[in-house]
Amino acid sequence: MKCTQCGQRGLGIAAFANTAGGKTDYKCDRCMAKNQAQSIKSVREIDELIAQYEKLDKTLEDIIKQLPQPLDIPKGLGGFAMSPMSSYKSVQIFLAELRPRRMELLAEVENESRLQYELEKALKDEDYDKAAEIRAKLQGDDKKT
Ligand SMILES: [Zn+2]
């Protein structure tokens, strides 16, 4: 199976029915993680999700420590069976996509509050051209989210 988004073959590829095209989409863990990370628009939301994954990460780590031997997965089923180790790897992939996205969202928030501050300052200085420019930027940001 190949991931329809990035074209890579590999384990952890899940199938999604694409109702619009009547086709089936195959997505690898990394693309699913990327898509999930990109769909999140607020720092609060991503913080909650990261906390959930970190909790899961800790739980899986404990399970793996108690099971030093790899689970015996029948040949040919490796791609389908969810073992603690494969779940753990998926969690790592999700966290690796979510953490940089969190930084992006933080930067956006900072940018927005900086613009708000500049807008107030421009209004105080009666620099209405500048104020209009900043307002346009702020509205542009709203459209994206
Ligand atoms: Zn992919």
Output the CA 79–ligand 1 centroid distance in Å: 15
Look up tokens 């051209």; give the residue: 129
Output the CA 133–ligand 1 centroid distance in Å: 40
Output the CA 18–ligand 1 centroid distance in Å: 16
| Alpha helix stretches (DSSP H) within the chain | 29-39, 43-66, 84-124, 128-144
Output the CA 94–ligand 1 centroid distance in Å: 13
Question: Around Cβ 37, how many Cβ atoms within 10 Å?
Answer: 21
pTM recorded for the entire structure: 0.70
Q: Is 18 left (phi over 0), alpha (psi -120 to 50) or beta?
A: beta
Q: What is the tens place of the pLDDT at every residue in 80-139?
A: 556 788 888 889 999 999 999 999 999 999 999 999 999 999 999 999 999 999 999 888
Output the CA 12–ligand 1 centroid distance in Å: 10
Residue 22: CB partners within 8 Å, gap ≥ 6? none
Q: Is the dihedral of CA 92, 96, 99, 102 positive or negative?
A: negative
Rounded Cα–Cα distance for residues 13 and 113 (Å): 40
Percent of the chain having pLDDT more than 90?
A: 54
Output the CA 39–ligand 1 centroid distance in Å: 16
Output the CA 31–ligand 1 centroid distance in Å: 4
Q: Tokens at residue 77, please?
A: 């089923």
Output the CA 137–ligand 1 centroid distance in Å: 34
Across the chain, what does the average pLDDT equal? 85
